[in-house]
Amino acid sequence: MYQKIVPLPKSGIILGVVNLFIRPLLLLVMLPFNLITMGLLTFVMNTWMIMLTDSMLKGLKIPGFWLTLLVSLIISIINIILRNL
């Protein structure tokens, strides 16, 4: 969890940079596995991106893989809703 509100904007910026540079490469490498799992691997990759962002920040700590997977699912749902507006 977070101790202060300060790491939250930083985490958004870092997550944006991670998604801009690392995610496309990871999607390309994991494409065959993503096709086999019919897109479910995307949630796991988003979880990895959030865990990477979490490891880069000192004030933000998300405990455990499953909570990070839940955060990834929530972010994906929000992205789907915003994309359809």
Give per-10-residue mean pLDDT for the chain (85 aa): 65 85 89 89 86 81 86 86 87
CB within 8 Å of 42: residues ≥ 6 apart:
27, 34, 76
pLDDT of residue 32: 92
pLDDT number for residue 36: 92
- pLDDT for the residue 6: 62
Q: What is the pLDDT of residue 62?
A: 80
What does pTM read for this prediction?
A: 0.73
What's the pLDDT score for residue 1? 52
The rounded distance, in Å, linking the Cα atoms of 48 and 29 is: 14
Helices 41-56 and 65-83, axial angle in degrees (round to 10)? 110
Phi/psi for 63 (5° steps) reads: -80, 115
